[in-house]
Amino acid sequence: MGAETAGDGPVNEILLGGVELRKSFGSTPALDGAALAVRPGEIVAIMGPSGSGKSTLLHCLAGIVAPDSGTVTFQGQDLARLSDRQRSALRRSEFGFVFQFGQLVPELSCVENVALPLRLSGVRRREAEKTALDWMARLEVESLGRKRPGEVSGGQGQRVAVARALVTAPKVIFADEPTGALDSLNGEQVMRLLVATARDSGAAVVLVTHEARVAAYSDREVVVRDGRTRQVELVP
């Protein structure tokens, strides 16, 4: 047991690693030496009470927030050494995101929402929407293509968001409380499909949740408390 390091295995097995991450907002410390190592295709749950720093850890790992100190690497590359433009391109092509609320653009149809990351990467509309519809079918929401996000249920909207996160075939999906606004049945459906599609496509998932039933879909969990990570290795 102890703090996780990115040096637990051969370096080439680590897809995404954060070491000694510290981050404060004003005088409030959010991360205080947190660490996490994610291997390709692995599903890791980040658990912890509200305010423990788990979302900040996700944001640092995803390159959304720069840590005050410490290093985040993706495929061995230090994110801090990338320009803003390179980091944005990385987030668009290699990372997918699913949040709890408000992630779909209300003015666009569901298929346009799913196709958006491809369109931003320069893919033509027809091809982007065809790929988007394929992913929507895997998430069992292909019939909602022409509807707007305001016309679909919360659970359907989250499945559309998962399709959008997967549409660029990213290597990592960052999911921050993806079922937080859903009832048990819809939450379970979202998790089942998120995990199944991520496993099929070989994407790793970094899943922030405070719900044990959601974390039970992961391969392992890391607990964040007071900005520090703790992980437990049980004897098999």
Q: What is the DSSP string of 84-101?
A: HHHHHHHHHHHEEEE-SS
**Residue 212 beta carbon to other proteins: minimum distance, rounded to whole angstroms:** 4
232 in contact with other proteins (CB under 8 A) = yes
| One residue of 81, 146, 199, 213 binding other proteins per CB under 8 A | 213
186 in contact with other proteins (CB under 8 A) = no
Burial 68-98 (b: 16+ CB within 10 A, else e): eebbbbbeeeebeeeeeeebeebbbbbbbbb
Taking every pair of Cα atoms in the chain, the longest distance, rounded to a whole number of angstroms, is 52
216 in contact with other proteins (CB under 8 A) = yes
Report yes or no: 1 and 233 within 8 Å, Cβ to Cβ. yes
**Residue 211 beta carbon to other proteins: minimum distance, rounded to whole angstroms:** 8
137 in contact with other proteins (CB under 8 A) = no
Cβ distance to other proteins smaller for residue 132 or 208: 208
- Number of residues engaging other proteins in binding (CB under 8 A): 18
**Residues 198, 65, 223, 12, CA torsion sign:** positive
Which CA distances in Å does 180 have to 9, 89, 175, 219, 225? 33, 28, 11, 20, 20
| Spatial CB neighbours of 108, under 8 Å, sequence gap ≥ 6 | 116, 148, 149
Closest residue by Cα to residue 193 from 120, 132, 139: 139
Contact map string, positions 44 to 63, toward other proteins, x by CB under 8 A: ---x-x--------------
Cβ distance to other proteins smaller for residue 148 or 225: 225
Stretch that binds other proteins, among 20-28, 139-147, 201-209, 216-224 (CB under 8 A): 216-224
Beta-bridge mates of residue 2: 231
183 in contact with other proteins (CB under 8 A) = no
215 in contact with other proteins (CB under 8 A) = yes
Cβ distance to other proteins smaller for residue 5 or 93: 5
14 in contact with other proteins (CB under 8 A) = no
Q: In the complex, which residues of this chain contact other proteins (CB under 8 A)?
A: 1, 47, 49, 192, 210-213, 215-218, 221, 223, 225, 230, 232, 234
